[in-house]
Structure 1
Amino acid sequence: MFELRSWKAKLGFTVLLLTIAFFLFFPVYWALISAFKSNQELYRLDPTLVPNEFFWGHFVSAITDGNILLQLKNSLLTSTSSALLNASLAALAGYSFAKFDYPAKKPLMLLILSAQMFPFGVLLISIYPMLQAVNLLDTKLGLTISYIVFALPVSTYMMYSYFKQIPNELIEAAKVDGASNMTIFRRIVLPISLPAFITVTLYAFMWSWNDLLYSMTLITSEENRTIGPGLLLRYINENNADWGGAMAASFLAAAPVVMVFAILQKQFIGGVTSGAVK
C-alpha cells in the first residue's frame, strides 16, 4: 500500500480519481438527463447540462405505448431461471471437483474453463441447431437453457474455490454419523456456502439480463421477446431513433437489476471476500 505524503501526490491522486469518475459516471448522467428532456430540447444544437423543464412523457410512453412490461417479465423469468439453474449446476460441479477424487478430474476442469475462450457467437452456432432439433427455438425455455453457457464455467470455478476451503473433517464427521453425500451437500455444505451461491447467481443473472445476441437470434415472436431486443427494435431502427424514449426505457429496464443487487449486495460482497473468487 503506497502512502500519499506530499500535497502534490495527494492532489495528483485526487485529480486522477475525479478523471476516472468523470468517464465512468458522466455517460450515465447524460443518459438520465436525456430521459427527462423533451424532443425539442434534446435535439437542440447547443445541448444543456440540466433540463430546462423536466419532461415525463418518455417514461409514460415507454410504459403505455410499447411492450416494455411484457419484455421485463420475460427477461426476469428467463434471467432468474437461468441464474438459479446455473448456480445449482455450478455448486454440484464445484463440490465434485473440490471434495471427490476420480480419473481425469483436472483435465475435465480445464475443459470446462476452456469454454470461456470461445466467443459466445461461436457457441451460438452449435446451440441453434440443438434447440431446433428439440423444438425449443422461440421459447423461453430454450433461451433459459442457452444462457447457461455465459456463466457456468466461471461459476463452477468460483464454487470450487469456496468449497475447497471447507474442512474435510466436517464432511468426515457427517459421514461417521451416517449422512449420505447428497445429504451432506444439502444440509451442511450448501447452507454455509450461501454467500458464494448468491454471488454466482447474481453473476449469471447480470450476464443473462444484458444479453442481446442470443435473445435476438433464438427469439422471434413478440410475446417471448426480452428487454434487450425489445428496446433496440422499438427505439433505434432503420426508420427512427427516439433517443429520449430509449434512455427512459433503459432506466426502467435497469431498475430490476439495481434493486436485486441493492438487496443482495452484502451476500455478494461476502461471497467474493470469503474466497468465492480467487
Structure 2
Amino acid sequence: MVRKKNIAKKIGFYILVLMLVVFVAYPFAWMLSISFRYDTDAFEKGIIPERPTLRQYGELLGLVKSIREELSQEEQQMMELIKDLPPEQQEAFLAEITAQRKKETFPFLRFFKNSLFLAGISALISLIIAIFGAYSFSRLEYKGRGVVQRSVLVVYLFGGTILAVPLYQIFVKLGLFGSGTRAYIALIIIYVVQTLPVSLYMLGNYFRTIPYSIEEAAIIDGCSRLQTIFKVVVPLSLPAIITVYIYAFMIGWNEFLFVSIFARPYPEYYTLPIGLNELFNSAHAIWGKMMAASVMTALPVIIMFTIMEKYLTGGLTVGGVKE
C-alpha cells in the first residue's frame, strides 16, 4: 500500500513538473515559431510553420531587402506621376513618404550594438568596483564597515519610477543631457548604481569562503595586497565574478525606463528595448519581424550562460587548502 502511494506521488510530481515546463516554455516556442513565418502566416494554427522562412532574420541582419525597400521602384514611378504637380504638393508627398519609411524601418543592428556597448561597459565598471569593495568588506577591518555594507542595499527600497524624476533633474544640472553621448554617460552611471549593491553582496559572501591562509601564503611570498587580489582572490572567485557580470549585463541589456527617458530624443542611440517598443507600436503588424527581433534579443544572454556554465556550476576553491 505504501509503495502504491509513493508511485502515485512520483507520477503526480512529474506531471506537475511537466505542466510547469510546458507553461513556461510554450510562449518561447510560439515566439520562435512565428519568427520563421511570413507576416501573413503569423497566426496560422500549429506550432510548426507550414511555410518556414528565414526572411525575417535576413531583413534584421541586412542580408535581405525589406518589402519596403523592394517597393522603391514603385515609388519612383509615383514620383514620375507627380512631377507636374506644384512644388508645395511635391514636398508634402515626399515628407509623407519619408515619415512612412521612418515608421517602418527597424535598424536592428544599430540598436543591438548600442545595447551591447551600454550593457557591457556598465557591467564591467560595476564588476571592477564590486571586486575592490567586496574585498574590503570581507577582509579589511575599519570603523563603519558593517554599516556601509548593509546600507548599500538601501537603494533597492526605492523603485525606478520614484527615482526617475530626481535622477533626470540631477543629470540635467550636471550637464549630462543634450546629446546622445551625454545620455549614455548618465545611463552607465545609473546602471552601475543599480547593480553595484547586489554585486558587492554576492562577491563579499563568496570572498569569505576563500581560506585566508591562501592569501597569507601569497603575502609571505612577497605579493602586495593588490597582487594578492588579482593573482589569488580573483582566479579563485571566477564563478562568482562571472555570475555578477551576467547579472549586471542583464540589467543593462533589458532596462527600458531610464533609456526611454534619457535617449528618447536621440534615435541614433536607441537600445533594443526602446527599439522593440517602437517596432511593436508601428502602424503595420509585422509580427514575423517582431518575434525574430525578440528571439535575437534573447540570444546574447543565452550564449553567455552556455559558454560560462562551467564557471557558474563549479567552485574553484574546493580542495584548495586543508584546514
Q: Same fold (TM over 0.5)?
A: yes
Match of 2:54 among 53, 56, 67: 56
Provide the residue aligned with 2:206 in structure 1: 162
Distance 2:317 2:163 in 1: 32
The letter for the 1-side match of 2:270 is R
Residue 124 (structure 1) aligned with residue 164 (structure 2): yes
**2:19 matched residue in structure 1:** 19
CA distance in 2, matches of 1:165, 1:272: 11
What does 1:1-278 align with in structure 2 at a 5 Å threshold? 6-43=6-43, 47-64=45-62, 65-137=105-177, 138-139=180-181, 140-220=184-264, 221-233=266-278, 235-237=279-281, 239-270=283-314
- In structure 2, relative to structure 1, the CA distance for the partners of 1:150 and 1:273 (3 Å cut) is farther
Q: CA deviation at 1:61?
A: 2.7
Once residues 286 and 117 of structure 2 are traced to their aligned partners in structure 1, the CA distance between those partners, rounded to angstroms, is 27
> 2:270 and 2:130 mapped to 1: Cα distance?
27
Tell me, which stretches of 5 or more residues in structure 1 are unaligned? none
Tell me the distance in 2 between the aligned counterparts of 1:163 and 1:247.
41
What code does the residue aligned with 2:145 have?
A: K
Answer yes or no: is the 8 Å Cα contact 2:236–2:317 preserved in 1.
no
Structure 2: where are the runs of 5+ without partners?
A: 63-104, 319-323
Secondary structure at 1:185 match in 2 = helix
For 2:154 and 2:33, the matched residues in 1 are separated by 42
Match of 2:72 in 1: none
- Please, what TM-score do these two structures have when normalized by structure 1? 0.88
- Return the letter of the residue paired with 2:273: G
Q: RMSD in angstroms over aligned alpha carbons?
A: 2.4
For the pair shown, the structure with the greater C-alpha radius of gyration is: 2
User: What do the CA deviations read for 1:214-255 (whole angstroms, capped 9, x no partner)?
Assistant: 21111121221111111111x211634432211011112222
> CA offset at residue 88 of structure 1?
0.9
Residues 175, 6 of structure 1: CA spacing in aligned structure 2 closer, same or farther, 3 A cutoff? closer
CA distance in 2, matches of 1:226, 1:272: 36
Q: How many angstroms does 1:198 deviate by?
A: 1.1
Structure-2 change in CA distance of 1:4 and 1:175 (3 Å):
farther
> Which letter does structure 2 place at the counterpart of 1:170?
I
CA distance in 2, matches of 1:271, 1:200: 15
**C-alpha displacement of 1:209:** 0.8
**Contact 1:195–1:267 at 8 Å: present in 2 too?**
yes
Does the aligned pair in 1 maintain the 2:32–2:292 contact within 8 Å? yes
Contact 2:210 2:317 (C-alpha < 8 Å) held by counterparts: no
User: Partner of 1:247: helix, strand, or coil?
Assistant: helix
Question: Residues of 1 paired with 2:176 and 2:256: CA distance?
Answer: 18
The one-letter code matched in structure 2 to 1:81 is I
Shift of 1:56: 2.6
Is the contact made by 1:199 and 1:271 (CA closer than 8 Å) also made in structure 2? no
Q: Greater CA deviation, 126-135 or 254-263?
A: 126-135
1:31-86 deviation digits (Å, cap 9, x = unpaired): 11111222222245xx3332111133322333335211111111111111111111
What is the TM-score of this pair, normalised by structure 2? Answer: 0.76
CA distance in 2, matches of 1:83, 1:6: 48
Q: How many percent of aligned residue pairs carry the same amino acid?
A: 32
Paired residues of 2:236 and 2:316 also in contact (CA < 8 A):
no
Q: Distance in 2 between matches of 1:144 and 1:273?
A: 33
Contact preservation (8 Å) 1:4, 1:10? no
Tell me, in whole angstroms, the C-alpha distance in 2 between the residues paired with 1:85 and 1:25: 34
Judged with a 3 Å threshold, the aligned counterparts in structure 2 of structure 1 residues 128 and 7 are, in CA distance, closer, same or farther, namely: same
Residues 196, 272 of structure 1: 8 Å contact kept: no
Cα distance, 1:172–1:257 mapped onto 2, change above 3 Å: same
In structure 2, C-alpha distance between the alignment counterparts of 1:252 and 1:150, rounded to whole Å: 25
Q: Give a deviation string over 1:127-147, Cα, whole Å, max 9, x none.
A: 323332333333333222221
Report the Cα distance in structure 2 between the residues aligned to 1:62 and 1:108, rounded to whole angstroms: 47
Partner AA of 1:182 in structure 2: L
